[in-house]
C-alpha cells in the first residue's frame, strides 16, 4: 500500500529546545514563590547576576510588577538618605542662607514630620519619575537606533528603568552612596537594554548618557538662576 502524498516514513526530528526568556524573574513569579521570597530572590539575583536577572525578566505583561518593585526600593533609598542626612547633617539646602531655609521648614533637617511627609510623598515622586525617565530613555533609544530589533516596546524600557532601581542599595554607603548609585544605575541600564531590547552596548550607553547630560545642564542652569536671584536679593538689601 503506497504512502499518502506529502508524508514520509518517519516523523521529522523535534527542534532543539529554546530557552524561555519570558519565564519571569523571581519577583514576577511571586505568585508561586510568595511575595517576600520572590522579592528577596529577585533582589539577590539583580545584585549578584544582573545579566541572568534581565534574561529571566518578561519583556511585557504588566506595569504593576516592575512599578511596585521600584517603589519599594525607591522608598528604601529615600529613607536611608534621610538617615544619613540626620546623622551627618548632610543636606543640599544647607548651602543656602538661613533666611531661605526658614521658608522651607518641612524639608530641612531631620524632623519626624519631615521624614513622614517625605515617605508619604515618595511613591508619587517615584511613580512620576519612573515614567518621565522611561519616556526620555525610550526616545533616546529611538534616536540612536537601539530599538530596531526590539519587540518589548515602551514597556520593556519601563521594566529596565524599574528593575535598575536595585542601584538604590548604593545609598546604604554613607558619603559616596550617591556616586555608587549613579554608576550602578548606568551599569544595570546597559545590561537591561541590551537584554530586553537587543540593542548594542554602544547604543545603550549613548541612550543613557544623552538624557543624563541634558539633566546635568538643566541642573547647572537652575543653580545659576538661583545664585543670580540670591545675589540680586542681597544686592537689593544692601
**DSSP string for residues in 186-199:** HHHHHHHHHHHS--
CA distances from 119 to 53, 71, 88, 132, 135 (A): 28, 11, 20, 20, 25
Alpha helices in the chain (DSSP H): 30-33, 35-48, 50-56, 64-88, 98-101, 112-143, 153-163, 177-196, 201-237
Asked whether the beta carbons of 78 and 130 are under 8 A apart, the reply is no
What's the pLDDT score for residue 107? 45
What integer pLDDT is reported at residue 19 of this predicted model? 43
Residue that is written with C-alpha cell 530613555 in the block: 137
pLDDT per residue of the chain (238 residues) written in tens, 0 to 9: 454 554 444 555 544 443 445 678 999 998 888 889 999 999 999 999 999 999 999 988 888 899 999 998 888 877 777 776 666 654 545 555 555 545 544 444 445 666 677 777 788 888 999 999 999 999 999 999 989 888 889 999 999 999 999 998 888 887 787 888 889 999 999 999 999 999 999 999 999 998 878 878 888 888 888 877 777 766 666 5
Closest CA to 83 of 73, 95, 72, 75: 75
Contact 159, 57 (CB under 8 A): yes
CA distances from 8 to 5, 15, 16, 226 (A): 8, 17, 21, 80
pLDDT at residue 85, rounded to an integer: 66
Amino acid at each position: 500500500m503506497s504512502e499518502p502524498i506529502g508524508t514520509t516514513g518517519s516523523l521529522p526530528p523535534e527542534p532543539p529546545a529554546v530557552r524561555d526568556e519570558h519565564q519571569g524573574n523571581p519577583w514576577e513569579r511571586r505568585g508561586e514563590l510568595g511575595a517576600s521570597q520572590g522579592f528577596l530572590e529577585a533582589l539577590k539575583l539583580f545584585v549578584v547576576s544582573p545579566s541572568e536577572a534581565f534574561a529571566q525578566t518578561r519583556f511585557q505583561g504588566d506595569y504593576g510588577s516592575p512599578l511596585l518593585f521600584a517603589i519599594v526600593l525607591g522608598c528604601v533609598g529615600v529613607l536611608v538618605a534621610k538617615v544619613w542626612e540626620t546623622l551627618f547633617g548632610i543636606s543640599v539646602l544647607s548651602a543656602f542662607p538661613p533666611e531661605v531655609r526658614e521658608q522651607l521648614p518641612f524639608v530641612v533637617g531631620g524632623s519626624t514630620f519631615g521624614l513622614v511627609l517625605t515617605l508619604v510623598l515618595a511613591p508619587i515622586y517615584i511613580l512620576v519619575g519612573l515614567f518621565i525617565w522611561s519616556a526620555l530613555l525610550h526616545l533616546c533609544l529611538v534616536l540612536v537606533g537601539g530599538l530596531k530589533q526590539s519587540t518589548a516596546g515602551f514597556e520593556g524600557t519601563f521594566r529596565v528603568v524599574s528593575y535598575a532601581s536595585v542601584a538604590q542599595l548604593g545609598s546604604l554607603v554613607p558619603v559616596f552612596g550617591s556616586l555608587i548609585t549613579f554608576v550602578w544605575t548606568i551599569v544595570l541600564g546597559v545590561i537591561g537594554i541590551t537584554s530586553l531590547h537587543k540593542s548594542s552596548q554602544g547604543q545603550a550607553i549613548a541612550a543613557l548618557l544623552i538624557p543624563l547630560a541634558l539633566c546635568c545642564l538643566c541642573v547647572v542652569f537652575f543653580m545659576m538662576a538661583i545664585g543670580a536671584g540670591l545675589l540680586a536679593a542681597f544686592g537689593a538689601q544692601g
